[in-house]
Amino acid sequence: MYISPTTQTPALATGTSAGTLIARQAIVNTMGKVVGHELFNRSRSHSAHTAASDMLLALTALSHVGLEELMGDTLIFVNCTHESLGEGHLALLDPAKVILEVPSLGHTAAEEVRTRLPTLTMLHERGFRLAFSHTVLESAYAPWLPLADYIKLDLSVLPADQVTVLTKFALRETSAKLIAEKIETAAQLELLTSLGVGLFQGYWLSRPKLVQAKLLLPEQASIDQLSHLLRASASHHDLAQWVMQDAVLTFNLLRLLVTSGVCPVQGPTSIEHAITLLGRHRIACWIGLLQTFHMASESTPTTARTALLHGRFMQLITQAQHLPQAVSDQAFLVGVISQLGQLLDISSASVISLLQLPSVVTSAVLGNTGYLGALLSLARSSEQGHSDELLNAASALGLSAQQLTEARQQALEWARLT
């Protein structure tokens, strides 16, 4: 028996920079539990669905930093064109979370079915699960059928008797999970449930929820320079040094690490480690998308410069105390991330939820705990000019007034030159 899900009220999120208007429609199981969402680009018409619009939707979902989550913890179903299935932007998506919806060819040309098969097979081997419309059950599409992880039955075009025949055939001949989509009546829902379909989508169950994508994008100069360094085969260390001169670029790469599915459970230990995990190809794909769609900020917010100042100041203090490089790297992360909440107009806890970071970094940002937490308090006191608090914090860390002054001056000079 089907149990209705809780109704969600559509809402729009405001953002640092307004991006594409995206809709998410829930896909639920027989118990009414949401197991996935299909993403739609509501900033374009259906006829404008192209490989470019697919890439723009993917980039927007990856870059979104609002509290209205787009990627989330559930599966994401993304509509594709056959052209976009061969594009490099798919390297930026997490195969464990993203389902690629493959369109039919609009005709039954067996030769083209075979021509498209290697691309679909390659994506399947890379770990992507593929969803097809009910047309994949036609004999002309037989080569594609073994690749079907999901088959969607479109109730807006299929009469009840044909739905029954196709459902029984699919359950008997494939291992694919069936999704009944565009359900608009209780009778349709009951019929599909009785036939053994396990997943459902449609207005009867849940209307699409609109989200105004919220983007935090780096300046064009930062994007272009990173692209230049990649083309020049710069080392990961040199790439990291450039990224660390831009708080927005730093955040975006840390976010990309999560949405691409390559972030370790314990998080990256440094920006250089994050670059190594992402790999040059993914970073180049991301940069290429930003350049293709001219997605960049016109200027760097003051808060972003403050974030860099905090990170660099904390890094210099660790160096003055001759601490290991790993601590210095973590100090930079704490300093930058602690300021991102103001930049994004969300809480620090929400910033942390968008990323995956070492526990020592998270604890310092959220609770001011440990050595890094004390160092963060020092950085804040230094910025605010609270002399008594500053001296007490410095003394607790074993720092001399001279070390404190030098670190502050060097950080200011570094921030001025970046």
| Distance, first Cα to last Cα, the chain | 61
Angle CA 349–411–403, to nearest 5:
105
The per-residue pLDDT for range 313-332, each reduced to its tens digit, is 999 999 999 999 999 999 99
pLDDT of residue 271: 96
What's the CA gap between 151 and 144, in Å, rounded? 11
pLDDT of 59 reads: 73
CB atoms within 10 A of CB 147: 19
Of 28-32, 33-37, 175-179, 378-382, give the lowest mean pLDDT range.
378-382
CB 129 within 8 A of CB 100: yes
Nearest to 289 by CA among 20, 120, 63, 68: 63
- Taking alpha carbons only, the member of 70, 83, 140, 131 closest to residue 111 is 140
Task: Output the pTM of the full model.
Answer: 0.84
Tens-place pLDDT, residues 108-162? 678 889 999 999 999 999 999 999 999 999 999 999 999 999 999 999 999 999 9
Confidence of residue 301 (pLDDT cuts 50, 70, 90): confident
Tell me the C-alpha distance between 338 and 331, whole Å.
11
- The region that residue 317 occupies, defined by phi over 0 for left and psi between -120 and 50 for alpha, beta otherwise, is alpha
What distance in Å separates the CA atoms of residue 250 and residue 254, rounded to the nearest whole number? 6
Of the candidates 86, 98, 182, the residue with the CA atom closest to the CA atom of residue 134: 182
Decide if pLDDT at 418 tops 80.
no
Nearest alpha-carbon partner for 77 in 145, 149, 158: 149
Return the pLDDT at 3. 41
The pLDDT of residue 30 is 93
pLDDT grade, residue 7 (50/70/90)? very low
Most confident range, picked from 50-64, 201-215, 381-395:
201-215
Q: Could you tell me which of 314, 337, 318, 308 has the C-alpha nearest to residue 417?
A: 308
